[in-house]
Chain A
Amino acid sequence: MNESFSDPTPQRPPCWADRLLSWLTPTDLLEELQGDLHEQFAQQVDQVGSWRARFRYGLEALKVIRPYYLRRRVASLASRQKDFFPKRRATTRPYFTPEHPSPSLINPDMIRNYFKIAWRNLWKNKLFSLVNILSLSLSMAVGVILFTGLKATFDTDHFHPELNQLVRILTQETKEGEQTKWATAPLPLATQLDSVSFVGKTVKVRLAGKHNLQTDKGDVPIDLKFSEPSFFDVFGFKLLSGTAQSLANNSTTLFLTEKTAEKIFGSTNVLGHTVQFENLGYYIVGGIIKDPPLETHLPIEAMLSISSAELLEKKGAISSISQDWGGFKSSAIYARLKSEDNLEQLKATLQNYNRTLDESNLQFLAQPIEDITPGKIDIKNNPNAGVSWEDVKTQLFIILSLTLLAAFNYISLALARAFSRAQEVGVRKTIGATRGQVIGQFLMESTLVALFALLFTVPCVTILAHYIPDMDDVTFSWDIALLVCLITYAVITGLVAGAFPAWLLSAFQPIQVLRKTKTIKLFRGVAVYKALIVVQFSVTILFMILVVIVADYDRKNKAIIRSTVPSNVLTLDLKGEHYQNLQNELSQLSQVETTLATNWYYEPIKMGKDSVTLNDKTLAIHYVSIDPRTIETEGIRLLAGQNFPENMPQRTEQYVLVNEAAAKLLASKSEALVGQNLLLDSASVQVIGILPNEMIGQQRPLLYRYLPNEITTLTIKIKPDTEMEATKAIQSVWKDHFPQKTANLYNLKKYRYSGEISGEMEIFGGSALIVMLIAALGILGIASYSVETRTKELGIRKILGANNIKLVWIVTKNFGILILIAGLIGVPAGLFCGDLLRKEMGSYLDLGLINISIAFGLVAIVGLLTVLSQTIRAGQIEPVNVLKAE
């Protein structure tokens, strides 16, 4: 049973302990210590038995875990300290002792040296350096833009004084067991908070949303907020003119921000002007608010006094919430604490104000202003909180992937040039450089390139920012943190780009690279650059395919709009008024051909959503309210069934039309749907006809209903070339009917369809451009290099009779093959993404052969032209020049 009896070999100490020893003990000390321990173990086996000896041995091994050994072990791993005992006489002379020990990697002299050599190398290869710097700065530009965006996010609301004393009150609603957090709070709570001792000041802000300000040029929607004078004490908003107190004194006072004043009046010098808000009445401009220097979660366009809100509540113009705890969804409460330490106290105090309403339970929380942006998604009614932490992470991820993309270029160029650097590495190593030092050298070079790229990018981006419309709004301040961030970004980019080439190049054995550079295969790794080219070009092709299909879709859409939407149709916004009389009168006008009261004109103008039940299947489908005469007037052919009957009942809904997509969704055989009864919400209606799908815009299942109360628009078809007179006539009729409101009358085609390129187009186009530029720059460098290294071969070929075209073909051929391979990867990827996009947009995206070939052709042509711009030199080679110096 017991092995020690039968086993004649001497007992061995536990091997785990031995392994532990060899890990933890400095290499120089291992031999003697382990020997001693083994000897002691052998003694103890005789004295106290094998089991105890093993136990003690293990204990001894564990005792190696003490600072004395560990410190030296770590040092020896880092090979910083070669010799522990400088005074000890070496028992065996090492084979080779350098006269001067190699200095450590991080050492000011070496760094200066790296820098110097890196600089000389970059200067020597100007083209490569330029290509590298340009391609890095391109992708870094996007990084810098994202970084400034992030900076703006983190700077949000930092202009308020004593920021850490400011809190916003949140409402946590518990309804049917579900908890929802709202960024808003009921107004009566503010009055209660005022009496709390450590609350300095409170501000009530009522968020009224957009209201139409009526001007000569039509309605301008302005975001209105109601507040009180303390707003300007608590927050960092400043008044350019007027006094805050006038908000309390005069309920007709209106404050505008600089931007809004410019938008409405074209000037900020407008104190005393009277403006009219639709449904609200007249207000006098009493002050101009200075535009905040940074972003804020509480953007102001116009501000009215909170007392005027109470007046308006009495008039019934806005919902009555001033005294209502339940109406917390459109008002916010802010408080300035006496000291930032009161936050916990406030949180505790807020517990006392919990309210129980009919259906829900309200609790109140305090949120420091600093925590609003970047914030959490789960807070509702928080529209201007901006970027959430999730978005911040996404942006960082995008920055990272762009960095990698740019790094690819650097890697492929560096690898392509590995041959010419090999000798340099060989010489350096022979002189005595360690691998670490060679790596340091290469990393320094790449970092330098990245820093140059940054130097080039930042001014470009700052200048460009003024021309990119969305960027103009991003307000941030330059400070040390941002600078450090950007420089770190550049350094990381440099290190990432340089790591792989440095690792590969530093592995060269001097003896190999110096013996016969030309003939030996240095490594298989050079093929990596080919893979990188393929990757870059496949991504480019992918994006290009998306760009082409979206552009194609846009083009077709425009053509359809041109042919279907007549240019002599005006739309009139009804602004919630009854339209029958107006419509009758308008129809009488001499310039008017037909008028339709409809929310659909070849595509939905305003949609609703309702649940539809057919044979136990319930779906939520969009619907539009339509004039029964629309189909007839516009001459639309139905796919099946018939149009609405002549005399539609006004009150109850009887019939409904569906479009093809909706029919498909509801019934397997769409024709069979005609005549069937649907349950719309709870009313039963009959499907009488099927319309073709919308030709313009997004295709979605749609029901066409006759709901006179939901009509919001009149479309007026006028006689050709009478637009001026018709507009005047219609406006005067409107004025007669609704003198309180201005008419919103537009030419349908100009108003809705003169827009620029679609958002997708912008995104894909931008990405495709950047990716293509980066890929082109990468292939440019490599093509140039491949010609350079092959000059001798090409010269000999020329002597032997190859003509110029053949020479150019020889060097270009390989790149052509690479681009073809990229096509083989990129095209299926593009098809896949295009299909996803088609599902997303739900519209015709033509993924046909023509579009794909256009996309691939474009990329291939750009790629090949780039290559040709370099390889064309192969044709101009003079054999005499390249071969004379062999």
Chain B
Amino acid sequence: MSRTYLGEFEELVLLAVALLQQQPTGAYGVTIADELQQRTQRTTSVTGVHVVLYRLEEKGLVGSELGGATLARGGRRKRLFTLTAAGQQVLREMRQLRMGFWEALPTPFFS
């Protein structure tokens, strides 16, 4: 039973990384923050997202690489995050756990 515990925000960031790494922009601070803002309607700060990303990296759920400097960034590189195998595993477990709960609920609970 060596599951990694994730907070809600961490889980959402991890999902965002999974979603965005498929897309051409890639998953990094700004895109993740935008994605979360759109979906949750919460104000998300880039610095906060970064902290969560570093934590996830320390837990080994995401990996990162530098690259993709643009003019708007003043020539600074971005850190592009990708989901690791462990990250995928955690997301999958999370989903199963939640699905298990939903299936156990009686049907008329939510019509």
A residues bordering B, Cβ < 8 Å? 10, 29, 31-40, 42-43, 59-60, 63-64, 66, 68-69, 84-85, 87-88, 91
Contacts and interface: CB of A to CB of B under 8 A. Distances in A.
B47 A91 contact: no
Nearest to B29: A36
Contacts of B48: 63
A426 to B, nearest CB: 38
A85 B54 CA distance: 9
The 5 closest A-B pairs by CB, nearest first: A35-B76, A36-B29, A35-B73, A42-B72, A32-B79
B10 interface: no
Nearest to B72: A42
Nearest to B73: A35
A181 B65 CA distance: 76
A38 B74 contact: yes
Contacts of A66: 47, 51
Contacts of A37: 46-47
B64 A39 contact: no
Contacts of A87: 58, 60
Given A10-B72, A33-B50, A43-B30, 17 more contacts: A31-B77, A32-B29, A32-B50, A32-B78, A35-B69, A35-B76, A35-B78, A36-B50, A36-B73, A39-B78, A42-B72, A60-B46, A66-B47, A66-B51, A69-B51, A88-B57, A88-B64
Given A31-B77, A91-B66, A36 B54 contact: no
9 contacts: A31-B77, A32-B28, A32-B66, A32-B76, A33-B47, A36-B29, A36-B30, A36-B50, A40-B29
Nearest to A36: B29
A60 B50 CA distance: 12
B73 A39 contact: yes
B54 A84 contact: yes
Interface in B41-59: 45-48, 50-51, 54, 57-58
Given A36-B78, A40-B33, A91-B65, A29 B46 contact: no
A69 B50 CA distance: 10
A40 B30 contact: yes
B46 A40 contact: yes
Given A33-B50, A60-B47, A69-B51, A38 B58 contact: no
B70 interface: yes
Contact of A33 (B46, B58, B63, B65): B46
A785 to B, nearest CB: 56
Given A32-B79, A91-B66, A64 B47 contact: yes
Contacts of B69: 35
Main secondary structure of the interface of A (DSSP, over half): helix
Interface string B62-106: 011110011011101111000000000000000000000000000
Contacts of A60: 45-47
A38 B65 contact: no
A85 B77 contact: no
Given A60-B46, A60-B47, A38 B66 contact: no
Given A63-B45, A88-B64, A35 B50 contact: no
Contact of A35 (B33, B45, B51, B74): B74
> Which of B33, B51, B64, B70 is most buried by chain A, counting CB atoms within 10 A of its CB?
B51
Contacts of A42: 72
Contacts of B47: 33, 37, 60, 63-64, 66, 69
Contact of B58 (A39, A40, A59, A85): A85
A63 B46 CA distance: 9
Contacts of B78: 32, 35-36, 39
A48 to B, nearest CB: 13
Contacts of A88: 57, 63-64
A64 B50 CA distance: 10
A66 to B, nearest CB: 7
A39 B72 contact: yes
A63 B52 CA distance: 14
A29 B57 CA distance: 13
Nearest to A32: B79
A59 B48 CA distance: 12
B36 to A, nearest CB: 13
A35 B73 CA distance: 5
A64 B74 CA distance: 20
Nearest to A62: B47
B58 to A, nearest CB: 7
B21 to A, nearest CB: 16
A2 to B, nearest CB: 22
Contacts of A63: 45, 47-48
Contacts of B30: 36, 39-40, 43
A56 to B, nearest CB: 9
A479 B58 CA distance: 51
Contacts of B76: 31-32, 34-35, 38
A33 B73 CA distance: 10
Contacts of B70: 39
B65 to A, nearest CB: 7
Nearest to A84: B54
> Which of B30, B54, B64 is most buried by chain A, counting CB atoms within 10 A of its CB?
B30
A64 B63 CA distance: 23
A846 B51 CA distance: 79
Contacts of B66: 31-32, 91
Nearest to A92: B66
A66 B46 CA distance: 13
Contact of B77 (A35, A43, A59): A35
Nearest to B52: A68
Contact of B46 (A36, A84, A91): A36
Nearest to A25: B47
A31 B77 CA distance: 7
A633 B39 CA distance: 119
Given A35-B76, A36-B30, A29 B45 contact: no
A32 B77 contact: yes
A68 B51 contact: yes
> Which of A33, A42, A85 is most buried by chain B, counting CB atoms within 10 A of its CB?
A33
A771 to B, nearest CB: 61
> Which of A10, A40, A87 is most buried by chain B, counting CB atoms within 10 A of its CB?
A40
Contacts of B65: 91
Contacts of A38: 72-74, 76
A29 B79 CA distance: 9
Contacts of A29: 50, 54
Contacts of B51: 66, 68-69
A81 to B, nearest CB: 13
A31 B73 CA distance: 10
A91 B64 CA distance: 10
Nearest to B50: A33
A59 B43 CA distance: 12
Contacts of B58: 85, 87
B60 A33 contact: no
> Which of A35, A37, A42, A85 is most buried by chain B, counting CB atoms within 10 A of its CB?
A35
Contacts of B74: 34-35, 38
Nearest to B55: A68
